[in-house]
Amino acid sequence: MRRNAVLKPLPSEDDQAARFVRQREADRTAVAEDYVELIADLLRAEGEARAVDLARRMGVSQATVANTITRLQRDGLVETRPYRGLFLTEAGAELATRAKARHELVVRFLIAVGLDAETAEADAEGLEHHASEKALAAFARFLDAHNGKRR
Amino acid sequence: MRRNAVLKPLPSEDDQAARFVRQREADRTAVAEDYVELIADLLRAEGEARAVDLARRMGVSQATVANTITRLQRDGLVETRPYRGLFLTEAGAELATRAKARHELVVRFLIAVGLDAETAEADAEGLEHHASEKALAAFARFLDAHNGKRR
DNA sequence: TCCAAAACTTAGCCTAGGCTATAGAGTGAT
DNA sequence: ATCACTCTATAGCCTAGGCTAAGTTTTGGA
Ligand SMILES: [Mn+2]
Ligand SMILES: [Mn+2]
Ligand SMILES: [Mn+2]
Ligand SMILES: [Mn+2]
């Protein structure tokens, strides 16, 4: 049992800066990912995705949804037909598919490492946006191994 | 092998909204956590934490650091002695300690599930802010079990 | 057919967190 | 003691993402 381990030296300035820069980048894309994922879910489950429902499910005002949708339209992810709901473009649908797969993977991984399903769902909503491709691959490998042993 | 599993129904509006609200809350505290953690690291490793160095290590302009530090001061986490560097208040030091412990836990956990050390460090910088206490507890339990088997 | 309720939009406001450019202050080496 | 260099501060700007309040438009049920 090694107490007083050697103090880990600071990472290089550039390395550390790169990490924070990437983190900020992930934060910037998180809202778009959550919106398109939710729109896809609503289209599947309810047949339509209304801005009002988005607002309720995102825990945000209608005005905020309107603003956000404007940005998503500008970015070519969403189309609107007023009083008829929201729709995803090709790019939007593609992003939604990836977001959902990633979301599900993170949830299953969290459950596999011992988290209860409720908390897994809640935490995944934030964690998903910060797991790199390498991390997701590691999660998937872990799930494979875990299921191999267990199931 | 169960294909075509039953489609998971949407969570209730309130539950889902609560998740997103919590996620936004976590995002708002992330910057403060990263700053105080970095300030503590610099104080330990270099003996002082200068705003200039913060800027370099956060990958951000000096003006941005000045702005952020103003907020952290307003929130009672940081004190400044111009041309002498930054210091943590009681509350700041306490937050830094918790942030660092959490950061280390997340890194060790990611490595334990198969991620390389470099990526673990990078991803932890974002993931740490979205892991609930329950998730952290699960990570710690996993590490214990893992070390029990391995070491 | 009509009209109230629901859905959507718009205006105006705010904070966090970024930026560049420029000015000012302090330090330390000569 | 000076002064160049480093550090800090300030001004002015921007976008994302929130909000409330007050319209406007559409829809569908009576
Ligand atoms: Mn999410
Ligand atoms: Mn999600
Ligand atoms: Mn961080
Ligand atoms: Mn950290």
pLDDT band for position A139 (50/70/90)? very high
Model pLDDT, residue A147 = 82
Mean pLDDT, chain A, rounded, equals: 95
Ion ligand 2: residues, CB within 5 A, are A 37, 103
Q: Report whether pLDDT(A3) > 60.
A: no
Residue A31 domain-assigned (yes or no): yes
Residue B10 domain-assigned (yes or no): no
User: What is the DSSP code string of A56-106?
Assistant: HHHT--HHHHHHHHHHHHHTTSEEEETTTEEEE-HHHHHHHHHHHHHHHHH
Lowest-pLDDT choice from A109-118, A141-150, B18-27: A141-150
What residues contact residue B45 under an 8 Å CB cut-off, 6+ apart?
A: A7, A9, A10
> pLDDT for B101-143, tens place per residue?
999 999 999 999 999 999 999 999 999 999 999 999 999 999 9
pLDDT band for position B87 (50/70/90)? very high
The residue range of the domain holding A85 is 19-146
> pLDDT for A34-75, tens place per residue?
999 999 999 999 999 999 999 999 999 999 999 999 999 999
Rounded CA–C1' distance between A63 and C12, in angstroms: 12
Q: How far is B81 from chain A (nearest CA, A)?
A: 23
Cα–Cα dist B62/B5, whole Å: 53
In one-letter notation, the amino acid at residue A54 is L
Asked if A83 CB < 7 A from strand D, the reply is yes
Look at A130 and B131 and tell me if their CB atoms are within 8 Å: no
Q: Which two tokens stand for residue B89?
A: 């208040």
Q: How far is A89 from chain B (nearest CA, A)?
A: 22
- Write phi, then psi, for A50 (nearest 5 degrees): -95, 145
Q: Report whether pLDDT(B79) > 90.
A: yes
Cα–Cα dist B14/A111, whole Å: 22
| Number of domains within chain A | 1
Residue A151 domain-assigned (yes or no): no
Between A1 and B82, name the one with better pLDDT: B82
Q: Report whether pLDDT(B6) > 80.
A: no
Model pLDDT, residue A2 = 56
- What is the average pLDDT across B40-69? 98
In one-letter notation, the amino acid at residue A113 is V
Residue B9 domain-assigned (yes or no): no
Please give the model's pTM, rounded to 2 decimal places.
0.94
Ion ligand 4: residues, CB within 5 A, are B 37, 103
Residue B108 domain-assigned (yes or no): yes
Residue A95 domain-assigned (yes or no): yes
Residue B1 domain-assigned (yes or no): no
SS3 B76: coil
Q: Which nucleotide does the CA of A27 lie closest to, via C1'? A: D16
Cα–Cα dist B10/B93, whole Å: 41
> pLDDT for A77-95, tens place per residue?
999 999 999 999 999 999 9
Model pLDDT, residue B14 = 96
Model pLDDT, residue B146 = 87
B39: domain CATH number?
1.10.10.10
> Which residue in B has a C-alpha nearest to residue A1's C-alpha?
B151
Residue B11 domain-assigned (yes or no): no
Q: Report whether pLDDT(A97) > 80.
A: yes
